[in-house]
Every structure is written in C-alpha cells, then in structure tokens.
Structure 1
Amino acid sequence: MQHLSWLEAAVVGLLQGVSELFPVSSLGHSVLLPAVIGGSWARDLDVASPESPYLAFIVGTHVATALALIAFYWRDWLRLIGGLFGSIRHRRMATPDERLIWQLVVGTIPVGLVGLTFEHWLRTHLGRPVPAACFLIVNGLILLGIEWYVARSPAREHAMDAVPAEVPGDRIADGVAADARLSQMSFAKALAIGSVQVLALAPGISRSGATTAAGMGAGIRREDALRFSFLLATPVILAAGVLKLPDLFGPLGDGVRPQVLVGSLLAGIGAYISVRWLTRWVHTNSLRPFGWYCLAAGTACLVLFAVR
C-alpha cells in the first residue's frame, strides 16, 4: 500500500494552503510538484490515480482551507447568513446583505452542478503533469490579459464606487462597504462570475484568479472582485472537502491519517496567512506578478518534461 511521508505531507499541505487562495492554482501545483521532484513523490502524490492516498490528503487540506477562509471572514459570514434568514423570513431582498448572499448562492450553482457531474472525469483525464503545465500557462495569460484590459479601461474598474467608501484600518467597516458595492451588481453578472469557477476544475486554472479576473472584466474594482471570489470559493471548497470525507475515513485514508492531519493543519495556516496578505496586496498592486510566475513555471515544467 502506498503511504505519504511526513515530509510530503508537510510540504504539499503548506503549498496547497497558500496556492489555493493565491491566483496560481493549488490543484495545478499539487500535480506539478510531485512530477518535478519525481521518484516516490510522483508515485505517492498522483492525484489522477483512483487508488492513491493523495485523494484522502487533498480532502483534508480542502476542509482546512475552507475553515481558514471562514475564520478570516467569520464576521462577514455571520452578517450574510443573517441576511439570508432575514430575506427568507420577510420574503424580500431589500438590504445589501440580503442581495449579496443570494448572489453568492446563484454564483455557486454552476460549479456545484459541473463538479458533481464531471469532477472524477476531469481529475483522472486532466490531472496529469503536461495538461496541468499547459493550463498553468493559460492561467498566467488570463491574469496578464485582465490587467492589460483594466489598464486601458480604468473607468470600468471603479464602476461601483458610488457607495460607500472604506474606513482606513477598519477591516469590518471595509467589508461592509465592499459588500454594499458588490450587492449593486445584477444577478446575471453574479451568475456569470460564479460560472467561471468551472474553469478551476482543470488543474492549473486558479479559482480565485479566474473569478477575480471575471469580476474585474465586469467592472468591479480589483479588491472587491477578489473579495467576491473568496466569498464564492468558501462554500465550494468546503463542500468539495465534506463530500469526499468518506475517502478520508475509508480505505484510502488507512495509514495516512496522521500525515493528513499535519498537512491539513499547515494548509489551514498557510491559507489564513495568504488571504490576510493578499487582501491587503491588491489594494495597491496588480495581479501581474502572479501571471508572470504562472507563465514561467508552466513553461519551465513543459521544458523539463520534454527533456527528462
């Protein structure tokens, strides 16, 4: 039976937590890193294999990443869930919180349906090094392309600035202000942005990168688009992990559960630090560095695989 080493669990767990929220694709990195290292790493960490303990490991890290997002946005989620219950109770969508929570629900439906139907096929057919490297290059082009587009259409990025402004240094007030702006978008736009998450089922395409780019292209400013991306991702990542929990507690988890625990802990820590850092970064910086990284990393992997 294959097992995960403690080093593999620690390294990949931390990598997964960081890259899940950075716009560089955690699944792509989870496929590419073992292939680049080779040897037992390539054997033990094969996401395309239906019998690999790596699947149980990925389940744990996904749950940990979702919990890190919930921990970071817990006040916002309490407010939004309150808006959901208020909306149901009064049969209305009058407040920004009531509108935004339903926009998140609508935006989550497409990836949920596609993921339940095609996740296994996509993982076993595309979860291989060469396709992952190619998709990582595509992800880089998406990030660079949206920044190029926004730079030439600056008015579009600030189309929702009418209400209200941030309070410098007050993250709670900033969140309320951002959600008020996001709630102004149409449900069709929320559905379109949420649908882009489907692309992230392909290893190498980042969920946060694709949805942030879609939001920016729809006229939402960069930091608000990233926030909407993280809010959209939380239920998707959590559901993906919870639905696969039987894998962790079934035969695939035998012999690797302690390593899964360590990897998940590091994934959660990495994810929390990442979301905290990235939400500050985008206020004054672009996504171009991540785009150039994806192009360089994907190209380097393709060259390596070709000459090896």
Structure 2
Amino acid sequence: MSSHLSFAEAVVVGAFQGVTELFPVSSLGHSVLVPALVGGRWAQDLDVSAPESPYLAFIVGLHVATAAALLVFFWRDWVAIVGGFFSSLRHRRIDTAPERLAWQIVLATIPVGIAGLALEHVFRTTLGRPVPAAAFLAVNGVVLFAGERLRQRVPATVPAPTEADSGLTAADVRIAELPIGQGVLIGAAQNAALLPGISRSGITMVAGLWRGLTHEEAARFSFLLATPVILAAGVLKIPDLFGPLGAGIGGQVLAGAVASFIAAYLAVRFLTRYFETRTLTPFAIYCVIAGLGSLAWLLSR
C-alpha cells in the first residue's frame, strides 16, 4: 500500500471519507465499494476486509480526524455537556438540561460500544466485501425512506424546551427532554452501522424521527452520539499507525487526515443547516440507486 497510495490518492480518499462519515450514506460502505468499482491495485490494496490490511491504519487516522472536526464544530455543546456530566456526579443529581443530555449520550453510547468491541472484526472481515456492501447500501436507502414515512405518522411527543441553559441550543434542550430509555434506543440503533452500507448517522436519525424528534434535532443528536464512538474507535486502533500496518504511510495518513478533517467540518456545517428545512429523501434515493447499480455491476463482471 505504501508504494501504491500516493498523496493525491490519500487526500481524495480522506476527503471522501470525511463527507460520507457524516452524510447518511455510509462511509464504510463507500470505503468497500469505491476501491472495488475502481478495480486494479485499489481493489487489492484498499481492502478493509483483509485482517492485516494497511488500509485499516489509514482509516484509523481518518476517523480520528473526523471526530476532531465534530468536536471543533460542537465545542460549545461539549463544554456544556462535559460540565453537566461532572456537575451531575458532584451533586448526585440529573436535573439540568446539560446534565440530562450528558447522561443521554453516556448511556446511549454503551450499546454500540459493547457491540463494536465484540462484533466489529467479525462483521468487517465477513461482510466487508463489495457485494454485501452494495446490498446493504440499498437497504440503507429503504430504511431512510421508511424513516420519512414513519415520521409523518408519529406525533411529536417530545416536550418543548423549558430551559435556556448556557451553552445548549433549543434543539439540545429538546433532545435532553427525551426519556432516558428512548435516548438509549436511539443510540443502540448505531449498532446497525457495523454492517457495511448502513449509515451510522442515517440509522440514528431514523430512530430519532421515529421517537418524535425533528430532522434538525435528530441530526444534531446523531452527530453528538457519533463523536465519542468515532473517536474511541480511532483511539483504540491508533497503535496500528505505529506498528507494521502503519509502516511507510505516515505522510499519506497525515495528508488524508487533514483532508478528512476539512471535509467533515464542512459536511457537518452543511448538514446542520440542511436539516433545518429538508429531509432524508434525496439521500435515500441516492443509496438505493448507488447500491443496486453497484450490485448489478459487481455481479455482472
């Protein structure tokens, strides 16, 4: 990989990952499909299903950069959330919106953390191949369509904001008002993203819409939930960058990570505004077309 992945390719792959990680179209699915569709050395070298693929070390750097972009964009929220967490521990209470939101995120992250540690390797090596990824990408589109349909039938049951806590937006306060059990269910939906082609942000947004959140609130909760998960996944695998898997690709990893950070920051900035007035439907259409098209192409070769 070190001799094949140029700096230009690293920047392109990094920017692509930064966008697809946050758009509801599955970054893992695209990481599997794009090299397979390009073919040649890309299909051999950029294979996430290979147990000892250097591509994994490269992806680690991109994930850390994406999480960093989310932290920078939502830094005010995270200052309030972290403050609420320690305030809750200090006073042994969960009363304010920052305290409630902090525990929403902590508890909602536990299911995907356990599943990720237990199943990530098995799912990636057995299902992280082009044909399953294409099929799951099409399924992801269907799920997004279903989410829009369910949203239209489910009344908005989440209470309106009643607090104006410093550091939190009205959307944050509304998310904090969710019952803890519902917040955990929304977070647990991220488990489906272990399947290549199923989008973490997309499946979490659908779960949020199903529980009565607006598109803006569901997107915001999705990004807040994704931040510790993506960051933890990257940090746990950082040693790979300094081992045999990362040998000879340090420069490419850095270039790709910078591109991923910039792309992810611009993506989350765009999406937070987009979902103030728009829906998941365009992404659903894209996923169905891209998934079925890729599946037809791969099976016909």
Q: Is the 8 A contact 1:2 1:44 kept in 2?
A: no
Superposition TM-score, scaled by structure 1 size: 0.94
Q: Is the 8 A contact 1:69 1:272 kept in 2?
A: yes
- Classify 1:105/1:174 alpha carbon distance in 2 versus 1 (closer, same or farther; 3 Å): closer
Distance 1:200 1:6 in 2: 29
Q: Is the 8 A contact 1:9 1:259 kept in 2?
A: yes
Distance 1:230 1:164 in 2: 23
The total of aligned residue pairs comes to 300
Aligned positions of 1:277-292 closer than 5 A: 277-292=270-285
Distance 1:303 1:17 in 2: 27
Distance 2:248 2:217 in 1: 43
Match of 2:32 in 1: 31
Q: Is the 8 A contact 2:192 2:200 kept in 1?
A: yes
Match for residue 234 of structure 2 among 241, 248, 270 = 241
Does 1:82 find its partner at 2:80?
Answer: no
Unaligned runs of 5+ in 2: none
How far the C-alpha of 1:165 sits from its partner, in A, is: 9.9
Counterpart amino acid of residue 261 in structure 2: G
Match of 2:254 in 1: 261
Q: Is the 8 A contact 2:26 2:196 kept in 1?
A: yes
Distance 2:178 2:159 in 1: 12
Distance 1:249 1:2 in 2: 14
Match of 1:169 in 2: none
Match for residue 159 of structure 1 among 157, 160, 176 = 157
How far the C-alpha of 1:160 sits from its partner, in A, is: 2.8
Match of 1:207 in 2: 200
How far the C-alpha of 1:174 sits from its partner, in A, is: 9.3
Match of 2:189 in 1: 196
Q: Which moved more, 1:223-232 or 1:144-153?
A: 144-153
Q: Is the 8 A contact 1:127 1:203 kept in 2?
A: yes
Counterpart amino acid of residue 260 in structure 1: V
Q: Is the 8 A contact 2:215 2:278 kept in 1?
A: no
Q: String of CA shifts for 1:247-299, please: whole Å, max 9, x gaps.
A: 11110000111111111110111100000000000111110000000000001
Distance 1:2 1:237 in 2: 25
Distance 1:257 1:53 in 2: 11
Unaligned runs of 5+ in 1: 167-171
Counterpart amino acid of residue 212 in structure 2: G
Distance 1:165 1:109 in 2: 27
Q: String of CA shifts for 1:43-101, please: whole Å, max 9, x gaps.
A: 11000112211000000000000000000000110011000110000000010110110
Does 1:185 find its partner at 2:178?
Answer: yes
Match for residue 266 of structure 2 among 243, 248, 273 = 273
Match of 1:20 in 2: 21
Distance 1:302 1:236 in 2: 29
Q: String of CA shifts for 1:9-33, please: whole Å, max 9, x gaps.
A: 1221111000000000000000000
**Runs of 4 or more off by more than 4 Å in structure 1?**
172-175
Counterpart amino acid of residue 138 in structure 2: I
Q: Is the 8 A contact 1:44 1:52 kept in 2?
A: yes
Aligned positions of 1:48-63 closer than 5 A: 48-63=49-64
How far the C-alpha of 1:196 sits from its partner, in A, is: 0.6
How far the C-alpha of 1:307 sits from its partner, in A, is: 1.6
Q: String of CA shifts for 1:100-145, please: whole Å, max 9, x gaps.
A: 1001000000110011111111110011000100110111001111
Distance 1:2 1:49 in 2: 16
Counterpart amino acid of residue 160 in structure 2: A
Distance 1:38 1:279 in 2: 35
Distance 1:291 1:150 in 2: 14
Counterpart amino acid of residue 195 in structure 2: A
Does 1:104 find its partner at 2:140?
Answer: no
Aligned positions of 1:126-141 closer than 5 A: 126-141=127-142
Q: Is the 8 A contact 2:161 2:177 kept in 1?
A: no
Q: Is the 8 A contact 1:122 1:202 kept in 2?
A: yes
Q: Is the 8 A contact 1:22 1:209 kept in 2?
A: yes
Superposition TM-score, scaled by structure 2 size: 0.96
Q: Is the 8 A contact 2:77 2:167 kept in 1?
A: no
Q: Is the 8 A contact 2:159 2:177 kept in 1?
A: no
Instruction: Give percent identity, aligned residues only.
Output: 57
